[in-house]
Structure 1
Amino acid sequence: MKQVLQHRIDSTFAHYDVNGNGFIELADVYALAERLLRAFGEPAASERGRELVEAYDRFWEMLAAHCDTDRDGQVSPEEYREAMDTMFVTGGPIEADFLEVVQELLDIADTNSDGRVDAREFAVLLKARGLGDEECGVAFAHLDTDGDGALSVAEYVAAVRDYYTNPAEDTPGSWLYPDALQRT
């Protein structure tokens, strides 16, 4: 059980460590933002592009504040593991910051500004994480737990919490990252 959760934490760390140097740094977070800008077809200079970059700035600030315990500008795998345990298992102080970042990300994903993130819009985020079209549809169906055709912040946060705390397969959280589909 603990091995599955450890694998998930390590998988998300690897996702965030874009340059593969063994640390999450500001440059990695900007690379993730750039990946999403490309996926949305949004220039960084546009209003939505600036909002996305600003959201990722806040994401980095959150990571640095809660994960970078030695304040060296890098989040090591060990620091990340400890913070994820604190955040999701024990519900530490990072949770409020995380909710704000999730809200901003979902607002940006709402490309038609209807106040909802539908399957097509959420697929952009999942494709940037490496999922294919079919996987995006299946993942969205698992994440949309109330079946209303849109993801809410509450559904997304519940899925993230589930990802880090529930080792069971085929739960909403197990569909957040491509590596989860490997079913360790």
Structure 2
Amino acid sequence: MTALQDLKYSQWFRGADVDGDGFITQHDVRRMSERYINARESTPDAETVRRLTEGMDQFWSNVIAPMDQDGDGKVDVREMTAGFKSVLTDRALYPQQIAPVTNCFFDLVDLNADGKIDQAEFQQMFDAVAAVPGEDCAAVFAALDLDGSGGLDRDEFHQALEEFFYGNDPDAPANHIFGKVIT
């Protein structure tokens, strides 16, 4: 793991620690999905909510909970960083480790369900959920829109999250998807 990944994971940790107590718990993980649901103007269908809840529970069980080195039911930034070092080591595991949750988030962020996330949808969700400032959202969005279509398709969204969690490129725009990472 590189210093860049440490910075990215710390940025993600700040957003995942929903209650700001310095720990990620199963409750925080569930509240992450609630923030996405609540940021929408309309409630998503029950199937999307169920898939997101199940995906977040699996994310907790398979990725975050195993990082709890002292068994206290919560993960601090040190445990999380050590855990990511041991769990998120192989990009080939992205489909099992991160992709199911990413698919659910894509469905929630794609507010008009047209199969693409436009800049307004991206900004609404990431500002409301991760408190990413508008100017940062616009720059990150433009860089992630690889084909210049004005919308992120599912593949571009997956590519961004894969790069965020597994990548080491200091110039990758995906580094800033959860807020500007100062390198």
Which category of TM-score, normalised to the shorter sequence, fits these structures?
0.7 to 0.9
Q: 1:67 is matched with which residue?
A: 64
- Offset at residue 140 of structure 1 (A): 0.7
TM-score under structure 1 length normalisation: 0.79
Other-structure match for 2:45: 47
Give the deviation of 1:88 after TM superposition: 4.1
Equivalent residue for 1:166?
A: 168
Considering only aligned residues, what root-mean-square deviation do their CA atoms show, in Å? 2.7
Q: Does structure 2 conserve the Cα–Cα contact (< 8 Å) formed by 1:30 and 1:56?
A: yes
Distance 1:21 1:132, change over 3 A: closer
Task: Quote the Cα distance in structure 1 between the aligned partners of 2:144 and 2:84.
Answer: 20
Question: Following superposition of structure 1 onto structure 2, how do residues 41-120 of structure 1 map, counting pairs within 5 Å?
Answer: 41-43=41-43, 47=45, 51-52=48-49, 54-69=51-66, 73-91=73-91, 93=93, 95-120=95-120
Unaligned runs of 5+ residues in structure 2 are: none
| Structure 1 residue aligned with 2:145 | 144
Displacement, 1:85? 3.2
**Over residues 101-154 of structure 1, what are the superposed CA-to-partner deviations in whole Å (9 max), with x where a residue is unaligned?**
111111122221222222121222211211233322211101111222221232
- Name the structure, 1 or 2, with higher relative contact order (CA <8 Å, separation 6+): 2
1-side partners of 2:19 and 2:31: how far apart? 8
Distance 2:87 2:160 in 1: 14
| One-letter amino acid of the structure 2 residue matched with residue 67 of structure 1 | I
Q: CA deviation at 1:99?
A: 0.9
Which secondary structure does the structure 2 equivalent of 1:151 belong to?
strand
Q: CA deviation at 1:92?
A: 6.4
Q: Give the aligned length.
A: 178
Using the aligned pairs only, state the percent identity: 24
DSSP 3-state at the match of 1:117? strand
Contact 1:102/1:157 (<8 A) preserved: yes
Q: Structure 1 residues 139 and 93 mapped into 2: Cα distance closer, same or farther (>3 Å)? A: closer
Structure 1 unaligned regions, length at least 5: none
